[in-house]
Chain A
Amino acid sequence: MAFLEVKHIRKVYTGRLGSKETIALKNVNFSVNEGEFVSVMGESGSGKTTLLNLLSTLDKPTEGEITLAGTPLTAIKEKELSRFRREQLGFIFQDFNLLDNFSLKDNILLPLVLEQVPVKEMESRLKPLVERLGISQLINNYPYEVSGGQKQRAAVTRALITKPKLILADEPTGALDSKSSEVLMKLLADIHATKQTILMVTHSARAASYSNRVLFIRDGEVYHEIYRGDQTAEEFMNRISQALLFAFNRGEKNEI
């Protein structure tokens, strides 16, 4: 059994009056092995965000089942969900979601504080991580005092500090310039190299090229996937771009 299993997921949103139904995900199937770095690509409205919300337990599928390391997510009780998110998942958001009233350090420590980890252990976990992410000089600053790239690196640190089983990244480079994006993606690749499982949703072929597999999603279905294998990031990016172009053309044809 794979590390993360997504089986026959269907998600339907019902309008307020119950008359109008929107199918966000039709039938999604895929699995992720431990230590994989998987990107999910698709256009706006393809169901990426819905998928991510289901994976992060913020929402429940209408049909189908998701299991993480053998635990079916639907079996987790409502009360346990926050705890589960805190312990098993790490989140990286497009808009960072750092809190202005905390210094970067406190932002990073937030999940550990909620977990009631002793102060000593917090410090010992914090130190190597901030050094690895190159923000050790900045941790006493506040979010509004640092750049977007630095903010996102702090957010990555926050995601890593709980040693989560799975990191879910939602367009992590979406609000960053190309230079910061590159730095961030290299960091994510490094993190992946330590056997960390990462699932990233992105628009950017360049960002996706750092992962070792790309899933393409469209109209609520995974319609294509490609593996990086031994290719360099550059070669992989070209393949991703071609795949996207192909999909784009095919889509146009289908609609005609």
Chain B
Amino acid sequence: MKFNLALKLAIQNMKANKQIYIPFVISATLTVSMFYMIVSLVTNGFVNEQGGSAISLFGLGALVVAVFSFIFILYANSFLMKRRKKEIGLFNILGLEKKHIAKVIAIETITTFVMSLVAGLIVGAVLGQLVFYGIDYVLIVKQDFVFSLNVLPMLFTGVLFAGIFLTVYLFNVFNIQFSNPIELLKGGQSGEKEPKSSPILFILGLISMGMGYYLSLTITNPTQAVVLFALAVGLVMLGTYLLFNAGTIIVLKALKRRKRFYYKPGPFISISGMLYRMKQHATGLANICLLSAMVLITISTTTALYVSAENIVSLAVPEENILSISNVEYLSTSTFEETKVEPILKTVREKTEKSSLEMSDLRSYSRMTLYDNQIINDEMIYRYSGKIVEGEENERVNIRLIPLQDYNKLTGESLTLNYGEIFIGDQTNLISGDTFTIEGVRYQTEVLEKMPDYLKSASPSTKQLVVIVPDMNTLLSIQRTVNDYNENFSEFVSKEISWSTNGSQEEEIAYAEQMSEVFQNKGLDSPFYQNREQFRVGYYDITGGFLFLGIYLGFLFIIGTVLITYFKQVSEGYEDRVRIQAMQKVGLDKKMTRKATRSQVVWMFLLPLVVAIIHTMIAYPILFQMLSFISIVSHPTLMTTFGVVILAFTIIYGVVYQITSKIYLKIVE
């Protein structure tokens, strides 16, 4: 057979079958672009700067997408071939040898491969660029995101998809080789058996899903969450596949047995239709469900992290500028104020006046922070007291002591304390009774009603107790007592100074750099200066990267979801068409057709979505714990992001479904 003839035949075939070739090429194109987008990140300069974990994360992501691409293209091909068997059988009968058919199919496969690859790489490059810009736009702190066009990822994509299409080709040729023309002719319309219900798989699915859910719901600490997360995800995935396959069939059959319900036009057509195609589509539905759950989880957790990053910034650096000076020379309080604090305040005022920024809210207070102590039976155990009890259940606590006068000045309140009383700010219920003993002295405790946020703990994993003591002398006597324990280590009272400045990000950072220098040149002992903008930039350098990666992955998962939904609707449309048309001949009208297909479509739409949302909600506790491991995320924040992301995703998914259902109805009618 001449090549020209084979080429002509191949082109003609593809033209004749364009109604199924176009969806196939579109799907393959998107799959290629999806893979290209993730692979190009592995070689991306920015990702590489993030270090090993980001690269291995994306390596894993690329592997998952590769497996997904393989399964998906094979699935799409099986649908394509089912519809084409008839004409291949006809060619065979008309005298085309099987090796000639193989040649024609080879040309067709190469054509679709090249088309999808080229289009996919272009779409991937453009889409990748757009996503990069989009995320860069959303981020507060601008990053060096560049979606670079490297040859290596393109090559890699090309090789992978060449492999996939080769497999598809061999699979098709193998199939044709071992079937006779008559079988091929009938191939498109061979009846499919009604699926059998398998209670065992159903029960296994329930057990697997139940165990996964149980893990998530009962987890109580972050470390456990990090360790068990993968297991929980695995169990839920397995459970989802099993339940979609076995469960839907069992439920549909049960519905079918209820005669009064079943023998009504809507249920009659839709239940039998769903049952008929459930065998092949249960996996597709489970895929949509899991991809949706992944979208929901990745985007809501990264968004929560992003929102919480601001929390961390404002907790760690509660004011725009913070300066801390320790009284390391044991000067008397008044001497310390005069010789150390006052000069520096003066410098701050002068320097700020010279800069373009305006200063406001200059505040200062004294405090002493004792780190890594224990609280046992409402008594403080100082870390060098020799009474520390080793063991996991005894957490370490930072104790922050502030004289009442300073506290009142700081907050503008006018609290008073009687002799032997203290105020405590106890966020995590470290004290169980109403007394607290510090170095042999038992104080009556009063709870601080309105403790300012900037006195709270900046990290969820460190416990902190704020103690307001009656006066500076009490503070100093505690200092003397604890400093007797260890002669190599001293606790100091420090002066905390804070002030606000208002300016643009660049101005703030310039100001911060200038101030840091000033304080260093002052030759102060242990000066500690922090500027919020400076801290924010540093912090976002780290978290911004991960946020970006999360959103990117979420976006890829959305493409995957759209892809499967689209292809499922188109392929089902062609399959249902024959059935619907036969029913119309025996008196099914258009209105009823719409009604019946709509209820079917709504079920197919809602089922994966609802299950995905349930998965996400059940995953909430374990995700919360995992996030607590790396950041501070509050329940309201996480719940809000979950809610917003679920809502947004439902809308996107709904729009995609609307569009694809229209395509479906058009095909069916």
Partner of A110, one of B264, B268, B589: B268
Contact, CB under 8 Å: B265 / A119: no
Interchain CB contact (< 8 A) of A99 among B190, B275, B579, B592? B579
Instruction: In the complex, identify which listed stretch (A6-14, A83-91, A211-219) lies at the interface while the others stay far away.
Output: A83-91
Which residues of A lie under 8 Å from residue B592 when comparing CB positions?
Answer: 82, 114
In the complex, the answer to whether A142 meets B268 with C-beta atoms within 8 Å is no
Q: Are B589 and A91 in contact (CB under 8 A)?
A: no
Q: Is B259 within 8 A of A110, CB to CB?
A: no
**Is B46's CB within 8 Å of the partner chain A?**
no
Q: A110-B583, A116-B265 are known contacts. Are A142 and B272 too (CB-CB below 8 A)?
A: no
The answer to whether B586 and A100 have CB atoms under 8 Å apart is no
CB atoms of A101 and B586 under 8 A apart: no
Given contacts A106-B268, A119-B259, A143-B191, contact A99 B582 (CB under 8 A): yes
Q: Is B275 within 8 A of A97, CB to CB? A: no
Which of B190, B583, B586 has most chain A Cβ within 10 Å?
B586
Residues of B within 8 A of A98 (CB): 582
Q: How far is the CA of A143 from the CA of B194 in the complex (A)?
A: 11
The answer, among B264, B276, B584, B591, for a CB contact under 8 Å with A113, is B264
Q: Is B586 in contact with A110, judged by CB distance below 8 angstroms? A: yes
Q: How far in angstroms is the closest Cβ of chain A from B196?
A: 13
When C-beta atoms are compared, the residue in chain B nearest to A103 turns out to be: B194
Given contacts A100-B191, A100-B192, A101-B276, contact A82 B588 (CB under 8 A): yes
Contact with A along B564-599 (1 / 0, CB 8 A): 000000000000000100111111111110000000
Which of A79, A87, A101, A109 contacts B275, CB < 8 Å?
A: A101
Residue in A101, A112, A116, A144 whose CB lies within 8 Å of B579: A101
Say whether B384 faces chain A, with CB atoms less than 8 Å apart: no
- Interface pair B585/A106, CB less than 8 Å apart: no
- With a cutoff of 8 Å between Cβ atoms, the chain B residues found around residue A114 in the complex are 265, 587-588, 592
Tell me, rounded to whole Å, the shortest Cβ–Cβ distance linking A241 to chain B: 32
Q: How far is the CB of B668 from chain A (nearest CB, A)?
A: 14
Interface assignment of A111: CB less than 8 Å from any CB of chain B: yes
A135 part of interface (Cβ distance < 8 Å): no
Q: Does A83 contact B191, Cβ atoms closer than 8 Å?
A: no
Measured CB to CB, the nearest residue on chain A to B585 is A97
Distance A82 CA – B587 CA, assembled complex (angstroms)? 5
Contacts of B210 in A (CB 8 A): none
Could you tell me the distance in whole angstroms from the C-beta of B260 to the nearest C-beta in chain A? 6
CB-nearest residue of chain B relative to A110? B586
Closest chain A residue to B580 by CB distance? A99
Interface hits, B253-306 → A, CB 8 Å? 259-260, 263-265, 268, 272-273, 275-277
Q: Select which of A81, A111, A119, A122 is within 8 A of B586 by beta carbon.
A: A111
CB pair A91 B586 closer than 8 Å: yes
Minimal beta-carbon separation of B25 from chain A (angstroms):
29
In the bound complex, CA of A128 to CA of B295 (Å): 57
- The A interface, classified by DSSP as helix, strand, loop or mixed, is helix
Chain A neighbourhood of B260, CB < 8 A = 119
Select A142's contact among B190, B194, B259, B585, beta carbons within 8 Å. Answer: B194
Q: Do residues A100 and B276 form an inter-chain contact, with CB atoms below 8 A? A: yes
Q: Is B450 among interface residues, defined by CB-CB distance under 8 A?
A: no
Cα of A119 to Cα of B262 in the assembled complex, Å: 9
B346 on interface, CB distance cutoff 8 Å: no
Instruction: Give min CB distance, B496 to chain A, whole Å.
Output: 75
Contacts of A100 in B (CB 8 A): 191-192, 276, 579
Residue with the highest number of chain A CB atoms closer than 10 Å, among B582, B587, B591? B587
Please tell me if A48 contacts chain B, counting CB pairs below 8 Å. Answer: no
Contact yes or no, B585 A99, CB < 8 A: no
Whether A93 is near chain B, meaning CB under 8 Å from some CB there, is yes
| Nearest chain A residue, comparing its CB with the CB of B266 | A113
Q: Report chain A residues within 8 Å CB of B584.
A: 82
Contacts of A3 in B (CB 8 A): none
Q: Which residues of A contact B586 (CB under 8 A)?
A: 85-86, 91, 97, 110-111, 158
- In the complex where A85-B587, A91-B585, A114-B592 touch, is A119 in contact with B263 (Cβ < 8 A)? yes
Closest CB of chain B to A104's CB: distance in Å?
A: 13
- Asked whether any CB of chain A lies closer than 8 Å to the CB of B193, the reply is yes
Q: How far is the CB of A94 from chain B (nearest CB, A)?
A: 12
The answer to whether A83 touches B587, judged by C-beta atoms less than 8 angstroms apart, is yes
- Note all chain B residues with C-beta closer than 8 A to A111: 586-587
Q: Which of A83, A87, A100, A142 has the most CB of B within 10 A?
A: A100
Cα separation A86 to B584 with both chains bound (whole Å): 10
Q: Which of A47-104 contact B (CB under 8 A)?
A: 58, 79, 81-83, 85-87, 91, 93, 97-102
Q: How far is the CB of A212 from chain B (nearest CB, A)?
A: 27
From B579, B582, B590, residue with most partner A Cβ within 10 Å: B582
Task: Tell me, in angstroms, the Cα distance from A122 to B260 when the chains sit together.
Answer: 11
Q: Which of B149-194 contact A (CB under 8 A)?
A: 190-194
Q: Find the B residue at minimum CB distance from A142.
A: B194
**Chain B: minimal CB distance from A79 (Å):** 7
A113 to B194, CA, bound (A): 21
B residues within 8 A CB of A82? Answer: 584, 587-590, 592
Contact of B583 among A79, A83, A99, A116 (CB under 8 A): A99
Q: Point out the residue from B263, B264, B272, B590 that lies within 8 Å of A101, measured CB to CB.
A: B272
Q: Which residues of A contact B263 (CB under 8 A)?
A: 109, 112-113, 119, 122
- A102-B272, A119-B259 given; A83·B194 CB < 8 A: no
Q: Please name all residues of chain B whose beta carbon is closer than 8 Å to the beta carbon of A85 when the two chains form the complex.
A: 586-587
- Closest residue to B596 on the A side, CB-wise? A114
Q: Residues of A at under 8 Å CB distance from B?
A: 58, 79, 81-83, 85-87, 91, 93, 97-102, 106, 109-114, 116, 119, 122, 142-144, 158
| Apart from the given pairs A101-B273, A142-B193, 5 other A-B contacts in the complex at a CB distance below 8 Å | A79-B591, A83-B589, A97-B582, A116-B264, A119-B263
Question: 9 A-B residue contacts at CB 8 Å?
Answer: A82-B590, A97-B586, A100-B276, A101-B272, A101-B276, A102-B272, A110-B586, A111-B586, A114-B587
